[in-house]
């Protein structure tokens, strides 16, 4: 926990950017009846019935100190998809960085092994040599700032029926561009001092004063 919190306190370094990463599933849903358009004093109205169109996945990259994020829409969230995201992070998003500090949770696909399962050993090592993983504690994924971005995305973009991956990509890209243009970020206030106070029972008792 403290390692992640101290990482958040570090000043911005373009050679060693801090990127928060996570993923979440999305249920695609279409209408069975045409919604009624809005009228004076009445919002647009939807029928309670809907049709499930399958699921897909959102990967999110978030750089808090720059107020920048990018959403990738994929069919799945396998180890291979994670590995491809890491290659994309290194080669496309931050090709000039010497090292990328990546904050992520302990999902079983979030491991260096995923890259070796997907790429040749040489390619996996090349990508991993530019990455430093910073894992949030078990049951502590709320420490990952990208969780707050997903919350905003859900409220502003996903709280309606989206029937296809194509439309989901269009919606998330428009949301992402608007947020990036405004350089929206997170006002993070939870510190190492807060952690030691609130979770004092989880810290071992020092043997030396």
Is the Cβ–Cβ distance between 35 and 47 less than 8 Å?
yes
Q: Which tokens hold the place of 70?
A: 């990018």
Q: How many angstroms separate the CA atoms of 82 and 138, rounded? A: 19
Residue 106, Cα to own-chain centre: how many angstroms?
13
The tokens for 123 are 């390619």
What does pLDDT average to in each consecutive run of 10 residues of the chain (209 residues)? Answer: 88 96 92 65 61 89 96 95 98 97 95 97 98 91 93 90 91 96 91 78 70
pLDDT at 167: 93
Query: Residues for the chain: how many in total?
Result: 209
How many Å apart are CA 110 and CA 80, to the nearest integer?
Answer: 10
Are 51 and 135 within 8 A, CB to CB?
no
Please tell me the distance from the alpha carbon of residue 101 to that of residue 6, in angstroms, as a whole number.
12
Query: Strand 131-135's sheet: what is its strand order?
Result: 68-74, 50-63, 18-31, 100-104, 131-135
So what's the pLDDT on residue 36?
Answer: 55
Contact indicator for 114, 80 with CB cutoff of 8 Å = yes
CATH topology of domain 2-28+51-183: Nucleotidyltransferase; domain 5 (3.30.420)
The structural domains of the chain, with segments of one domain joined by +, span: 2-28+51-183
Give the pair of three-digit tokens for residue 82. 């994670």
CA 193-195-196 angle, to 5 degrees, is 65
What pairing do the DSSP bridges indicate for beta strands 68-74 and 50-63? antiparallel
Q: Which of 105, 80, 101 is nearest to 89 (CA)?
A: 101
């Amino acid at each position: 926990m403290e390692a992640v919190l101290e990482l958040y306190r570090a000043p911005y370094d373009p050679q060693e950017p801090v990127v928060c990463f996570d993923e979440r599933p999305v249920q695609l849903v279409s209408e069975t009846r045409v919604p009624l358009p809005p009228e004076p004093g009445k919002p647009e109205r939807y029928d309670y019935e809907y049709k499930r169109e399958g699921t897909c996945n959102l990967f999110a990259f978030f750089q808090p100190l720059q107020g920048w994020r990018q959403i990738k829409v994929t069919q799945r969230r396998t180890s291979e998809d994670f590995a491809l995201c890491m290659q994309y992070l290194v080669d496309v998003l931050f090709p000039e960085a010497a090292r990328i500090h990546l904050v992520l949770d302990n999902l079983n696909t979030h491991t260096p092994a995923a890259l070796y399962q997907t790429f040749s050993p040489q390619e996996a090592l090349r990508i991993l040599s530019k990455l430093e993983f910073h894992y949030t504690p078990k049951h502590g994924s709320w420490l990952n700032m990208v969780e707050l971005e997903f919350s905003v995305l859900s409220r502003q973009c996903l709280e309606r029926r989206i029937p296809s991956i194509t439309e989901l990509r269009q919606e998330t890209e428009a949301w992402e561009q608007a947020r990036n243009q405004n350089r929206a970020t997170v006002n993070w206030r939870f510190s190492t001092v807060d952690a030691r106070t609130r979770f004092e029972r989880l810290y071992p008792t020092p043997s030396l004063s």
